[in-house]
Copies of this chain bind each other. A is one copy, B any other.
Amino acid sequence: MTIGFAHAELIAVLVAVTGDEPRVMTIRSGNALPSGPFEMGHRTLQSGLREWVQEQTEHPVGYLEQLYTFADRDRNNDIPGGRTISISYLGLVNEQSGAGRPGWHGWYEYFPWEDHRQGRPAVLDEIMARLRSWADADPARRDHRHRRADFTFGLDGGGWNEDLALQRYELLYEAGLVSEAGCGAEANLGRAMFADHRRILATGIARLRAKIKYRPVVFELMPESFTLLRLQRTIEALAGLTLHKQNFRRLIEQQELVEETGGTESETGGRPAKLFRFRHTVLEERALAGTKLPLSRN
């Protein structure tokens, strides 16, 4: 059984939420995700990556999970004589640490159609129009393409599904609506990135949006103590949706994910809000229990 050789690198999707905006750590003025060599010195990939990120960003990484391994032949930075394997990771950084410094870009810059907090974004009209003509361009696959577009973008009666971020990007890629797919820069939707980095970012977004619903990982993005509204806004930022306030509190409280610190915060111009902290013991009690999303129609 022979074993192939390959170049290996690590790519990180580092996420923080500041000012109700989800941000991702980038290099090259927002054009690429940070990546680095596959270090031989560390015992595990995770520990190696953790150290490396700490070094690069000067911020501790709270949560780290493997995203996906990309190794397709037609990825950009190929080197003759060997393929490049990119192992991507998703990391969550505490709000206070990973603040508004340069390098952190709001992720809706790259995916403007993913933010539905102010209602359905206007870009979607353009997107659907262009997807329609793409679908019609191939009579054989026409129907299938229309159904796929309708479903992924929530026009099939099922409504918008925030978890489909990756599928949406892939569809736009196939339809040639993003410049990474080779279309001209004028035709590009959202902000483009180097090689397939925007696809990796979409993978991270989709994974995180799915994860917050069944694992209490949001707290890795929060400061030690926070108000329930702050927590809600953070989740809304990630999901790109607004939540029903009262039901959100009900869910959080009945799951006993948090406990009162005793303090309050009165910065927001209304009745002061109680401060809460994450009950770290829930991680042992039941590794399950995420944060369900009580949607709202606002």
Contacts and interface: CB of A to CB of B under 8 A. Distances in A.
A139 interface: no
A1 interface: yes
Nearest to A42: B73
Interface in A1-60: 1-9, 35-40, 42-45
Contacts of A156: 285-286
A255 interface: no
B72 A69 contact: no
A185 interface: no
Contacts of A8: 3-6, 8, 71, 85
A250 interface: no
Given A44-B73, A45-B72, A74-B43, A3 B151 contact: no
A73 B39 contact: no
Given A9-B3, A156-B285, A156-B286, A87 B72 contact: no
A42 B3 CA distance: 15
A44 B69 contact: no
A73 B43 contact: yes
B2 A37 contact: yes
Nearest to A81: B40
Contacts of A161: 288
Contacts of A36: 1
Contact of A85 (B68, B85, B286, B287): B85
Interface string A157-175: 0100100100100000000
A158 B255 CA distance: 13
A8 B151 CA distance: 37
A274 interface: no
A84 interface: yes
A289 to B, nearest CB: 9
A74 to B, nearest CB: 6
Given A7-B3, A66-B69, A151 B285 contact: yes
Contact of A37 (B1, B38, B73): B1
Contacts of A74: 43
A74 B295 CA distance: 46
Nearest to A6: B8
Interface of A: 1-9, 35-40, 42-45, 66, 68-69, 71-74, 82-85, 87, 144, 147-148, 151, 156, 158, 161, 164, 167, 284-288
11 contacts: A2-B37, A3-B9, A4-B8, A5-B7, A6-B38, A8-B8, A40-B73, A44-B73, A66-B68, A85-B85, A85-B87
